[in-house]
Amino acid sequence: MPSQLDLMMVSSQNLVESHGQLPAEAFSYHDLVYLSFKIRPPKAKPTIVMRRSFRNFDNDKFMEDLSDIDWETVFAANSIDDKLNIFNSILIGLYDIHAPLRPIKIKHLPAPWLTNDIKALMSKRNAAKGKYKLNPSAANLIKYKKLRNQCSRLCRDAQRKYIHSSVDQKNTGKTWQFLASLGVGRQRQHVSHATDLDGLNKHFATTFSFDSLIKQSTLNHLRSLPVHGAPEFQFRTATAAEIKSHIFAIKSDAIGCDGISRKMLIAALDYILPILCHILNFSLTSASFPRAWYKAYIIPIPKVLNPLTPSNYRPISILPFLSKFLNVLFIKNLAFT
């Protein structure tokens, strides 16, 4: 009889290919239930994004130009805003020369299972196809089909192996993240063109207002509490080694409104580490936070299927990479005390 103990729940019955239960007499009194789910990633729609092109990037020339930069203006600046603005301007100007921003058309989903050997075989297949089109002989057709079939088999096997290794992870969050990278799962909802963006921005910028009497009574209570004889808190400056380790520890590749990515910083880290150390420590010791780091890209994410009001959205902030790193230093200072 059908199992009433071990159940599998699905939200899309039309995607269920087969299901049932099998006896497991060798090791259990319960039958094993199984379900085969039809998962076919949706075909990606071509999108155009602005990204830095590293196709013709010459690392030796980049390092040579980087080593010639005079960073004295950063050290000589009097405010944290001036220091950061000068640093950003120099670094972005250098990358504009060696890896300029260009519109890139993305046609396909990522395919990390494509190894260099498979890509080389695909090039041979394409060359054989071109040769057959120019000279449609039986020999050229046989050669092309042989390479095509070999390429299809290798791609299928590599894709299956990669998917199995990724799905078999113990971390459920990473598994869903991997499936999302393939286009599987709930599709991202986009903000409708009819949405009042100004109203949405005003809603996100509105802060919760406290009752003035409650606020004042709370402050008075805190002031009345006894003060312990603990030493005055002061920020501890970070070493270059700490800053380097924290930069590598932050894995986010999101690019904030300053246009500087993690990849850009790591590529130039050997030369810019002393400058980063100076800027971040100056922010700590002078108790000043750069105005540029108060800015963020805000992405409205619908909380319901058909959002009608601003409250139906929640904001996701894309902060500048270095601002995240300064937050890490704040936390480390508090933990150190």
Find the mean pLDDT for residues 195-213. 81
Find the mean pLDDT for residues 136-141. 93
pLDDT, position 211: 81
The H or E element spanning position 105 is strand 101-106
In angstroms, the CA 280 to CA 213 distance is 38
What mean pLDDT value characterizes the chain?
A: 85
pLDDT, position 62: 94
Range from 76-90, 119-133, 167-181, 245-259 carrying the lowest mean pLDDT: 167-181
pTM of the model: 0.69
Q: CA angle, 236 as apex, 72 and 247 as ends, to 5°? A: 65
Higher pLDDT, 160 or 336: 160
- SS3 for 297? strand
Which amino acid belongs to residue 81?
D
Higher pLDDT, 55 or 186: 55
Q: Who's near 235: CB < 8 A, 6+ residues apart?
A: 284, 285, 287, 333
Higher pLDDT, 8 or 4: 8
pLDDT, position 185: 61
Q: Who's near 299: CB < 8 A, 6+ residues apart?
A: 315, 316, 317, 318
Range from 12-16, 201-205, 235-239, 247-251 carrying the lowest mean pLDDT: 12-16
pLDDT tens digits for range 42-90:
676 788 888 898 888 999 999 999 999 999 999 999 999 999 999 999 9
In angstroms, the CA 52 to CA 151 distance is 31
For the chain, which residues make up each domain, given as ranges?
1-38, 189-224+233-336
Q: Distance of CA 144 to CAs 87, 120, 128, 157, 301, Å?
A: 54, 14, 5, 20, 47
DSSP class of residue 112? T
Find the mean pLDDT for residues 253-273. 92
Q: Could you write out the DSSP letters of every residue in 189-214?
A: PPPPTTS-HHHHHHHHHPPPPPPHHH
Tokens in use for 160? 């299956």
pLDDT, position 137: 93
Which residue shows structure tokens 């990473």?
A: 174
Cα diameter, the chain:
95
Q: CA angle, 42 as apex, 171 and 21 as ends, to 5°? A: 60
